[in-house]
Structure 1
Amino acid sequence: MRNTLHVLLASAAAVAAVALPGSAAHAADGYDRCPDGSYCMFSGLDGTGDMIALTSSTPDLGALGMNSRAKSDWNRTSSTIYLWSGNDYTGCTTVTSAGPTGKGNFFPDYRDFFNSVQFDGPGGPSCGTPPGGDG
């Protein structure tokens, strides 16, 4: 009798565990994957694809698998971000500001273009405004 009761209780517990609805947490996607306080780069447009989250200057994005691969970004820091065309903060720079304007797709000429990221400058020679990027 004791073994039968034990088997019945174990079976009831198993059924209850299966019958209870699981609380499925919504996984962040797109730009929402970027943690607060980080500067994030994405290999796809609109925050899709692979993502890296930076909290300090990074002289070689290749070490993180993002060298010349980023197509969009989000600056969730209080810093001005300087994006360099070359490794070790060489070449030309563009700026990603903090705040609501620091999120979006790169102009087509700047997709798959950047190789290092510097927090708070001083920056370098401007890469200029890409064609069609002034409006």
Structure 2
Amino acid sequence: MRNTSRALFVSLAVAAGAVLPVSTEAHAADGYDRCPVGSYCMFSGLDGTGDMITLRSSTPDLAALGMNDRSKSDWNRTASTIYLWSDAGYSGCTAVTSSGPTGKGNFFPDYRDFFSSVRFDGPGGRSCGTPPGGNG
């Protein structure tokens, strides 16, 4: 009787394990969370959506990466100050993306689909100014 009870218990445990859902799939990062630590990322959509490029050094022409005049949001996960240039070759005007918690977000509407080159730690150029309705 003892062996029969033991066998029945093992059979029930195996059967119960067979019907419990088990997920072996890791949750894929989405939105801003796709940007790796130590990188500066630009996104073609708002709130870190759409296509993403990851930069670890200055880039004089975003066209080479398919992001010229296409970015709408960014995240600076580096220790560097990022200078965003309106034109390729670090020309035109600049806007700045700081490192840290303030270095993540959507561009002002006037600066969406606007930037063509990225420089780490400057020097910057003439400011693109504060867009209408911007607070600094």
Aligned to 2:3: none
What is the CA–CA distance in structure 2 between the aligned matches of 1:74 and 1:114, rounded to whole Å? 14
What is the CA–CA distance in structure 2 between the aligned matches of 1:92 and 1:45, rounded to whole Å? 22
What is the CA–CA distance in structure 2 between the aligned matches of 1:22 and 1:47, rounded to whole Å? 27
What is the CA–CA distance in structure 2 between the aligned matches of 1:94 and 1:22, rounded to whole Å? 44
Unaligned stretches of 5+ in structure 2? 1-19
How do residues 29-108 of structure 1 correspond to structure 2 at under 5 angstroms? 29-108=30-109
Aligned to 1:116: 117
TM-score (norm 2): 0.84
Aligned to 1:23: 24
What is the CA–CA distance in structure 1 between the aligned matches of 2:73 and 2:54, rounded to whole Å? 12
SS at match of 1:31: helix
Compute the displacement of 1:22 (Å): 4.3
Structure 1 residues 18-68: Cα deviation after superposition (integer angstroms, max 9, x where no partner): x98341100000000000000000000000000000000000000000000
Compute the displacement of 1:134 (Å): 1.9
Residue type of the partner of 1:62?
A
Q: 1:126 and 2:116 equivalent? A: no
% identity of equivalent residues: 80
Structure 1 residues 57-107: Cα deviation after superposition (integer angstroms, max 9, x where no partner): 000000000000000000000000000000000000000000000000000
Residue type of the partner of 1:101?
T
Stretches of 4+ aligned residues off by more than 4 angstroms: none
Unaligned stretches of 5+ in structure 1? 1-18
